[in-house]
């Protein structure tokens, strides 16, 4: 596959969850002949802050490599080829995976960004929202503003959708699954989810870690 898969990892809480998953994801990319750049990035001290640094990392990589990229969370599991991403024209700004085939079910990983001005403008707006979250000390992550921004920018962008098989929840992997989403087990993640009023049962479901 020609399109570059990118990700980063930042271990927290004296655990090697992310670095271990980086090793596994590199191996899966090699097995499936997928180009990748999976980089270690110094932790900012919490799950939330590391997540909020994602859009800046993506923009930096997009500018560095000057080519379309696929962002994928490092704890995602790759089961099949991602060759569909090589078929998109150079004017495609973004490709998102969804749970229902439409915008309402959009996922934050995988997400394709074309090497376009509109894609970069979108990412810059995403970066600004993450700065606002930090300044206002709101307990949310990178995907909440991402999901809000996409509908706002959609009318001016060339956005494509890939099917539900491109991002399957843990426990729902089947013969059609291409990627299984990773869900980290982190105390700072759980603290942020509690601050949002999420139930303990749902928090535990969101945090299986390497027990998949």
CATH code of residue 44: 3.90.550.10
Angle between helices 117-136 and 54-65 (to 10 degrees): 150
Q: Is the pTM of this model over 0.75?
A: yes
Residue 210 belongs to a domain: no
Per residue in 83-138, pLDDT (tens digit) is 999 999 999 999 999 988 888 889 999 999 999 999 999 999 999 999 999 999 88
Residue 89 belongs to a domain: yes
- For strands 69-71 and 106-113, give the pairing: antiparallel
Angle between helices 143-153 and 117-136 (to 10 degrees): 140
Find the domain containing 53 and state its range.
4-182
The total number of structural domains in the chain stands at 1
Task: Give the whole-number percent of the chain exceeding pLDDT 90.
Answer: 72
Ranges assigned E (strand) in the chain: 4-9, 36-40, 69-71, 77-78, 94-98, 106-113, 159-162, 179-180
Residue 194 belongs to a domain: no
């Amino acid at each position: 596959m020609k399109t570059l898969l990118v990700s980063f990892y930042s271990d927290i809480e004296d655990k090697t969850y992310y670095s271990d998953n980086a090793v596994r994801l590199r191996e899966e990319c090699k097995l499936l002949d997928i180009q990748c750049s999976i980089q270690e990035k110094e932790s900012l001290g919490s799950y939330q802050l590391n997540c909020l640094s994602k859009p800046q990392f993506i923009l930096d990589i997009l500018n560095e490599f000057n080519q379309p990229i696929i962002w994928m969370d490092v704890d995602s599991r790759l089961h099949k080829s991602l060759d569909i991403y090589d078929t998109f024209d150079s004017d495609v700004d973004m490709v998102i995976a969804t749970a229902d085939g439409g915008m309402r079910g959009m996922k934050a990983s995988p997400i394709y960004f074309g090497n376009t001005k509109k894609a970069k403008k979108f990412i810059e707006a995403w970066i600004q929202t993450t700065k606002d979250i930090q300044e206002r000390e709101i307990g949310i992550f990178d995907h909440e503003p991402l999901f809000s921004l996409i509908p706002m920018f959609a009318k001016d962008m060339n956005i494509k959708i890939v099917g539900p098989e491109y991002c399957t929840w843990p426990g729902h992997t089947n013969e059609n699954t291409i990627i299984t989403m990773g869900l980290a087990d982190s105390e700072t993640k759980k603290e942020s989810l509690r601050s949002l009023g999420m139930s303990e049962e749902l928090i535990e479901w969101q945090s299986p870690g390497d027990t998949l």
